[in-house]
Structure 1
Amino acid sequence: MAIRRPFLQLQKLATRRSSANSLPYTEVTVVIMRTLLLGSRTRVVRAWCQQAPCTTLRTRPISYTSTPSPQDLAKQSAFSARTGFQFSDNKLLNEALTHKSFPSGPNSAFSRLQYLGGKVLGLYVTEHVYMRFPELPAESVNSVVNAYIGDKALASLGKHFGIPTVMRWKGTNEETSQISANGEALVAGKVLQALIGALYQDKGAKIARQFVHAHFLSRSVDIESHLKLLNPKRLLVQITKAKGQVRPVSRLVKESGRQSSSPVFIVGIYSGVEKIGEGHGSSMEMAETRAVRDALQKHYLQEVRDIKLPSDLDEGSITFFDKDATNA
């Protein structure tokens, strides 16, 4: 009875130690059995325990290797053909799809690709938002960029591309059912960043930029919700002063039902003769506040449709020679 309880936990202990030490399951089991039986009173059992560890019982290790299996290669090939992530070397695709949590040892290649992809993604999205909304405050630009490429957006696009079905990570084993869907989605987003990094490395900046514009910047984001306006009246005075405009003045434009239980007032904000904002409300104060916010939104959310991005510039087309000199 003294040795029975350890044997009941033998399989669980062997599995844990085998995974931690990257040893075959059967070999670790034998080692633990020798340790447990070493105190046996039977001379034959003690002699067996004192022998060198058995090497003829080696079986297929449960640890994973970085080399993809034929099934993995088939999945990756189908994924590449379906999504367009086609590289000159299939090894690069496997590195991007193998998350750093996959139990095959350190995978610095994935971490480097993810880092590169994150920076590439941030660059192209940031320059687009920055140039399209030239008056948008920096904190609002950062908030909008995060809406385009944050964890939620990455997880959504990762699922759209079917990355969870092809990526290799710590969930790629018999314990997959124990891993939350949120964790899988988060990892899929990281893998998408690595794929973008691989695309930039293998195909160049132009192709990577086209991918970002087609799949990230094509999504609809409510810019207005990312504009935080604290002390709007004071802010409007500062903006008109900086632009050399006349100090804003509130004027009642229209009203109805002043003496009723549900009156409506419409107030306009004017800078000189120009109406820069308008708002309505059940009181004149409410209507004025909304008019001020409307004026600020019109200022900050000015959108430039036909923008020239810095990444659009072709280095080969730039010259500092005068046109007349080149024609001479």
Structure 2
Amino acid sequence: MSTSRHVQKRFASTAAKLVSVPISQLPKFPPKGALRHPPPGTPSTSKWGDWDPQTWAALQPSPQSTFTALAHRIGLAQVLSNKEIEQACTHPSYLPFYSKHNPDEQSLNANGNLATLGNSLLGLFASEFLHTSYPHLPTRVLKAAVSAYVGPQTCASVAKEIGAAPLLRWHRTPPNPMRPPILHATALSSIPRALTALVYQQRSLPTARSFAHTFFLSRDVDIRTMLKFTDPRLNLIETVAKYGREKPVTRLLKETGRHSISPVFVVGAYSGVDKLGEGFGSSLKMAEYRACEDALHRLYLSRTPPHEVHLPTSTFLGFTPDALFSSSSSPSSSPSSSASEPLEAEFIPGSLGESEVLLGSAGRSGIRSAERPRMDAGSGDSAVVGR
């Protein structure tokens, strides 16, 4: 009697860790297979050894109330149904596992196509937002910033924040020469992408953009740490020359403790009378390095004021941004739902920035480059930096 009670408690704790299905929602718990005791000498391959508590727990569907709660948490209760939410939470890796144990039942709908569409939409929204907000951002940094805003790790974090992680149905798949392994974070990142695609299908492109800005692009990402310069001094010289400005010079602005154990130097980078950047350090070279780096950061991280940001996708007039999360939002109530004459807004493009960082180094290619340009020292009583 005590052994049976111990097995039942152990099975209940194992099932509770795997899925978020309360025991009260199960019609018969525990199942008959959990209480079977194989006769002595029965091989494990017989019907007595086929039942596995982890497999049984993974095959249990989530209650419909959990999908309704998720839709209300993200403000899409009037937009998406429980069936669509369930499809968004089902990864394609779960279908072979489900068909193997339920061959007689109808196959489930997975979020494979929806995740692909949502990934493209999120990339579009993030790219236009970053390119319009930071017109001078280098191309490589722009790609890194897009990944930081809507990449797989961010999508997995959004899925956890909205409470969709317990509803995920997936199956771990080992890697093969054709595809990488399917891990939990990979499957979890497909949920926000599928939700974005569903909003786009059920509403319009502006409402999908509003969804992306609410859950993804409203995050605080430090783009400054993504700007890495091997030689900021050389980058600054070529960048200033590209804009047709006067060749930059460095000037020592302040110093203290030159002959002590902890000196501090403050250096400024100038182009004519304009101060481009400022840096400090325990040596002149370090201060010059930081001054040139600060000048480049001021250029490439110059941001367009939010009220002047005009996104290309804003030309498609559909739903207002607040209509997505209101109960009255429906396709028939939108003034732009007329298919005979779609409305378009006038697009005012912003100025294109110099988004490429030019380098004068040949690297390891074996080709000799031109003589390395040197930054001139300031005139007057200012000290020469780097000598």
Moved more, 91-100 or 220-229: 91-100
Q: Aligned to 2:63, what secondary structure does the other structure show?
A: helix
Q: Distance in 2 between matches of 1:240 and 1:289?
A: 16
**How do 1:164-175 residues align onto structure 2 when only pairs under 5 Å count?**
164-170=165-171
2:310 partner amino acid? K
Whose helix proportion is higher, 1 or 2?
A: 1
| TM-score normalised per structure 2 | 0.61
- State the partner residue of 2:120: 119
Amino-acid identity (%): 34
Question: In the alignment, is residue 104 of structure 1 matched against residue 98 of structure 2?
Answer: yes
Query: Which residue of structure 2 aligns with residue 73 of structure 1?
Result: 64
Q: Residues 88-237 of structure 1: matches in 2 within 5 Å?
A: 89-102=81-94, 103-105=97-99, 109-170=110-171, 183-237=183-237
Point out 4+ residue stretches in structure 1 off by more than 6 angstroms. none
Structure with bigger RCO (C-alpha 8 Å, 6+ apart): 2
Shift in Å at residue 136 of structure 1?
0.7
**TM-superposed deviation, 1:166:** 2.3
1:212 and 1:282 map into 2 onto residues whose CA distance is 45
Q: In the alignment, is the contact (CA less than 8 A) between 1:196 and 1:208 conserved in 2?
A: yes
- Residues 44, 50 of structure 2: 8 Å contact kept: no
Cα shift at 1:98: 1.8
Q: Structure 1 263/132 Cα, relative in aligned 2: closer, same or farther at 3 Å?
A: same
Q: Which amino acid aligns with 1:144?
A: A
**In structure 2, what is the Cα distance between the partners aligned to 1:62 and 1:293?**
55
Aligned residues: 261
What one-letter code is carried by the residue in structure 2 that aligns with 1:286?
M
Instruction: From the superposition, tell whether residues 255 and 94 of structure 1 become closer, same or farther in structure 2 (CA, over 3 Å).
Output: same
Q: Distance in 2 between matches of 1:88 and 1:82?
A: 12
Letter in 2 for 1:98: T
- Unmatched runs of 5 consecutive residues or more in structure 1: 20-60, 172-181, 320-328
* Letter aligned with residue 296 of structure 2: L
Measured after TM superposition, the shift of residue 62 of structure 1 is 10
Contact 2:131 2:137 in 1 (8 A): yes
Report the CA distance shift for 1:63/1:259 in structure 2 as closer, same or farther (over 3 A): closer
Which residue matches 2:312? 310
Matching residue of 2:43: 7
Structure 1 residues 234 and 12, CA gap change in structure 2 (3 angstroms) = farther
2:64·2:82 contact (CA, 8 Å) conserved in 1?
no
CA displacement, residues 285-325 of structure 1 (integer Å, 9 cap, x when unaligned): 11111111111111111111221111111362458xxxxxx
Shift of 1:185: 4.1
Distance 1:275 1:300 in 2: 16
Report the secondary structure of 1:255's partner residue.
Answer: strand
Per-residue CA deviations over 1:165-189 (Å, capped at 9, x if unaligned) read 2233338xxxxxxxxxx94444222
SS in 2 for 1:268: strand
| Cα distance in 1, alignment partners of residues 259 and 80 from structure 2 | 76
Matching residue's letter, 1:222: D
The 2-side partners of 1:88 and 1:195 are apart by 9
Contact 2:111 2:194 in 1 (8 A): yes
Following the alignment from structure 1 to structure 2, what is the Cα–Cα distance between the partners of residues 89 and 239? 53
Which sections of structure 2, spanning at least 5 residues, go unmatched? 1-39, 100-106, 173-181, 318-342, 347-387
1:12 deviation in Å? 7.5
Relative to structure 1, the CA distance from residue 62 to residue 137 in structure 2 (aligned partners, 3 Å threshold; closer, same or farther) is closer
Q: Can you list the C-alpha shifts for 1:114-167, whole angstroms capped at 9, x where unaligned?
A: 101111111101110111111111100011111111222111110111101223
For 2:176, the equivalent position in structure 1 comes to none
Alignment match, 1:32: none
Partner of 1:268: 268
- Relative distance call for 1:133 and 1:247 in structure 2 (3 A) is same
Q: CA RMSD in A?
A: 2.9
Deviation at 1:111, TM superposition (A): 0.7
Provide closer, same or farther for how the CA distance between residues 271 and 12 of structure 1 changes in structure 2, counting only shifts above 3 A.
farther
Q: Look up the match of 2:242.
A: 242
Alpha-carbon distance in structure 2 between the residues aligned to 1:62 and 1:291: 60
Q: CA offsets per residue over residues 189-223 of structure 1, 9 Å max, x none?
A: 21221111111111111111111111111111001
8 Å CA contact 1:267, 1:288 repeated in 2:
yes
The one-letter amino acid of 1:314's match is F
Deviates more, 1:231-240 or 1:99-108: 99-108
